[in-house]
Structures are given as C-alpha cells and as structure tokens.
Amino acid sequence: MPDSTETRIAAATGFVKQKAYSKAIPLLKAIRKDEPENEIALGMLAAVHAEIGMRELAIEEYRGVLGINPANHLARFQLGLMQFIDDQPEEALDSWKPMLEIEQEFMANYHGALALIQLARPDEAAPLLERARSNMPQDHPLRPDLMRVLEQ
C-alpha cells in the first residue's frame, strides 16, 4: 500500500527543512500527479522553487495555488512579495488586495504600503502603514523597519 498523502507531505516537509530540495521536489511532484488539486504540495513546490531561484516557476505555482484556493493567504502573500521584489509593485498590490482588509493582517499592509511609496502614492500608503502598526507584534523582526518608514 502506498504511503498516504499526509505521510508524503511530512517527508517532503522534513526534506525542505533539511534543505534537501532534490529529495523534496520529486516527492511533491508525485503527490501532485496523484492529486493535482493538492494545494499544500503545490505551495511547497512553489516555496522550494523560489528558494532555489526558479522564480518564474514559483510565481506560476503560487498562481496555481490561488486557482485551487483563492483564500490561501500564504500563497497570495508570497506571490505578491515575489512581484514586489521583482520591481512589480502594481502587480504585488493586485495580489495583496484581498488581504488588505483582513482585520488583524499586517504583512500585506506593510508591504503594500512600501509598494505604494515606491509608486509615489504616499497618501494611499498611510492607512496601510497605520493598520500594519496597529497589528504588527511589538517583537516582530520588521517592527523597527515599519517604525522608520512611519517616521519619514
């Protein structure tokens, strides 16, 4: 009897944690072959491909995750972050848009504000920065960066 999907996901997760991507990728692809709609396997593939520099494939896979589950906020955030890093602030904002009204959300609001500042739209960035400030934990590693942006 073949291993369950959960067992294979757990094994792939272990490989990813060990940075044994050459072992994780075929296992995740096998899961996808058996279960094309498995958003966890596809999301992990996207994360691995992003980590090893296969950015275009990772972006395509994050979009695939959102095609399976538009409410997958991790895939949505990661897609927007990759677009932002690739100097595509408008595309990043489009990706993050559904997240910007989530009550306790702070990462998409912070990065969305940075994208708006990059686009010379500081008035639109201000409320996003305020939401990020209100919701970001005091001990979050990005908190000092957020505070510097607010001081400008």
What pTM, to 2 d.p., does this model score? 0.89
CB neighbourhood size of 35 (10 A):
14
CB neighbourhood size of 9 (10 A):
18
**For helices 39-51 and 21-34, angle between their N-to-C axes, nearest 10 degrees:** 150
CA distance 146 to 138: 11
Task: Read off the pLDDT of residues 101-150 as tens digits, 9 standing for 90 and up.
Answer: 888 999 999 999 999 999 999 999 999 999 999 999 999 999 999 999 99
CA distance 131 to 111: 11
Task: Read off the pLDDT of residues 90-106 as tens digits, 9 standing for 90 and up.
Answer: 999 999 999 998 889 99
Q: Residue 113 corresponds to which amino acid? A: A
CA distance 18 to 107: 26
